[in-house]
Amino acid sequence: MMKSFFKISITQLPLMVFLTMCFIVITIFCLNNSNNNAFGIQTETSNNKKGFNIIAVADVGCSIRAQENIKNIDKLDPELFLVAGDLSYEKTPDCWFNMTKSLDSKTKIAIGNHDDYEEEGKKGSKLKKSYMDHYGLDKSYYSFDYQNVHVLVLDTQLELSVDTLESTAVVNKTTTYLTQKDLDDDKKDTKDKNDSKAKKKEPLHKLYPLINLGDFLKQNAISIEIPQLDKLIESNAKVPALDTNNEQYQFVLNDLERTSQNKNIDWIFVMFHKTMYSSLAKQLEEYIIRDKYHKIFDNYNVDLVIQGHNHIYSRSLPITFNEQQISDPIIDQNHANSNNNNIFTNPQGPIFLVVGTGGDELYNIKEKQYYVANQYDKGFGFVDLKIDGKRLDGTFYDINLICQMKITENEKKLVKDFDSCIPPVAGKDKLKSIDQFTIFK
């Protein structure tokens, strides 16, 4: 019996050694993998599974409304905080820096018209420099990568815009009207309105000499056909000879071409202040900037465009540039006739967000554009963008302020008095989800 058992054991010895070695290898692999040190690819996959969030807002200011907005943003602990212009609405940035101190290292900004000379004159120039110095920017347009997201930031203050022309135009004495708004509002004296326009935009008029509108358009065209300006109906209007920055245009081309070749990037966001596409509210849609950049965004598969300037929330469907009719973008046909305008798989064209609900004030939405999926003008809030690999989930939150009601003078409507808004009491401070959307790639 002993002899027979010994023979069997010798025969099984190679198998036992092999199994032992396998056990040791598997054990080492598991231990290393648990510490995320085994393979770089697995570490990256683990990060993508965990996901991360980016929060975006614009037109903030330093009011109680703004402070409450920032407090709620801070609670969600975003990896990135994107601010699409018009930060403090003050002559200095001090209140903004103090209010956003906890988010400072995560903050990336775009320059708005209230952060620059257009609205604030020489103090605006100093304000812009203060922001750029604080956030370590040598130029007001730039880009960066965060995990699998590329963010391109533009400065629309460097661009020729309909908003700039409409708001700064001065007309000769022979001109009857300045803008379509003036035409619609025949109850007011035209001369007073023109004078107030000029006074409102006095900083630009002081800095730049006035030239004819036609010469201005010709001077600033960049290999594109400038669309007709519906708001400037008079041919003899004069505007400031504002210099525009052609270097930014070339930067955009080079940046997006380079990013399109980066296999580690799944998402491309673009952020700027003045609105290219928006629900119809106080501020104009920027046809000139649209004509210049939207086709580039299409060519390089930009996913999301984050804007401010209009103090509302607005989200478009995926849309591409319409070269035949600039005012009518083309909706992605896979979603044009769908009842579900919240879930998109490999959409054709960027989705354009307006997040001008940071806290300064709110505008009334006059009309919903056919390419807008959702819009909101009843409260302040922000967009939370959750990235999980090739899935993006976006939610617009209203911070649920408590506001009194008032009756408007002209229309005699009962509306919220946003100047009266205060933070909600404990227990009723839950964020209100207004809009949700998902993109799969």
In order, the DSSP letters of 290-319 are HHHHHHHHHHTT--EEEE-SSSSEEEEPSE
| Residue 402 near residue 421 (C-beta atoms within 8 A) | yes
Task: Say yes or no: 137 and 151 in one domain.
Answer: yes
Distance CA 258, CA 254 (A): 6
Task: Say yes or no: 70 and 173 in one domain.
Answer: no
Task: Say yes or no: 234 and 249 in one domain.
Answer: no
Q: Among residues 297, 359, 375, 376, which one has the least CA distance to residue 329?
A: 297
At 145 the three-state DSSP class reads strand
Helix (H) / strand (E) containing 7: helix 2-34
The answer to whether position 224 is within a domain reads yes
For the cut 70, the answer to whether the pLDDT of residue 373 exceeds it is: yes
pLDDT average, residue stretch 177-204: 45
The answer to whether position 414 is within a domain reads no
pLDDT at 343: 94
Confidence class of residue 35 from pLDDT cuts 50, 70 and 90?
Answer: very low
- Conformation bin of residue 371: beta by default, left when phi > 0, alpha when psi is -120 to 50: alpha
To the question of pTM greater than 0.85 for the whole model, the response is no
For the cut 90, the answer to whether the pLDDT of residue 356 exceeds it is: yes
Residue 77, Cα to own-chain centre: how many angstroms? 19
At 400 the three-state DSSP class reads coil
HSE-CB at 246 with a 13 A cutoff on CA atoms is 6
CATH of residue 319's domain is 3.60.21.10
The answer to whether position 58 is within a domain reads yes
pLDDT average, residue stretch 234-260: 86
The answer to whether position 112 is within a domain reads yes
Tell me the pLDDT of the chain averaged across its residues.
82
Q: Which of 32-41, 71-80, 138-147, 406-415 has the lowest mean pLDDT?
A: 32-41
pLDDT tens sequence across 317-330: 999 999 988 889 99
Reading the block at residue 396, the tokens are 């617009």
The Cβ of residue 277 has, within 10 Å, a number of other Cβ atoms equal to: 23
List of E strands, 248-380: 267-271, 304-307, 313-316, 319-320, 330-331, 343-345, 351-355, 372-376
Task: Say yes or no: 260 and 372 in one domain.
Answer: yes
Q: Determine phi and psi for 150, rounding to 5 degrees.
A: -110, 130
- Which one is predicted more confidently, 312 or 4? 312
| Residue 280 near residue 365 (C-beta atoms within 8 A) | yes
Helix (H) / strand (E) containing 359: none
Reading the block at residue 82, the tokens are 């994107």
Task: Say yes or no: 260 and 357 in one domain.
Answer: yes
Distance CA 200, CA 194 (A): 10
The answer to whether position 404 is within a domain reads no
Reading the block at residue 373, the tokens are 């999926």
Distance CA 180, CA 193 (A): 13
| Domain closes at, from 240, 275, 304 | 240
Task: Say yes or no: 149 and 193 in one domain.
Answer: no
Task: Say yes or no: 391 and 271 in one domain.
Answer: yes
Angle, in degrees to the nearest 10, between helices 246-260 and 287-299: 20
The answer to whether position 42 is within a domain reads no
Q: Give the domain extent around 387.
A: 51-157+245-399+427-440
Task: Say yes or no: 127 and 198 in one domain.
Answer: no
- Evaluated on CA atoms 58, 63, 65, 69, the torsion sign reads positive
Task: Say yes or no: 289 and 344 in one domain.
Answer: yes
pLDDT at 416: 85
In order, the DSSP letters of 175-224 are ---SSHHHHH-TTS-HHHHHHHHHHHTHHHHHHS-EEEHHHHHHHH--SS
The answer to whether position 26 is within a domain reads no
The answer to whether position 236 is within a domain reads yes
| Domain closes at, from 219, 240, 261 | 240
pLDDT at 28: 46
Task: Say yes or no: 89 and 62 in one domain.
Answer: yes
Structural domain tally of the chain?
2
Q: For residue 323, what are the CA distances in angstroms to 192, 225, 304?
A: 39, 10, 20
Reading the block at residue 406, the tokens are 């008032």
| Domain closes at, from 240, 275, 300 | 240
- Which one is predicted more confidently, 91 or 142? 142
| Residue 109 near residue 56 (C-beta atoms within 8 A) | no
Task: Say yes or no: 130 and 188 in one domain.
Answer: no
pLDDT average, residue stretch 143-167: 91
Reading the block at residue 368, the tokens are 């919903």
Task: Say yes or no: 143 and 87 in one domain.
Answer: yes
pLDDT at 357: 98
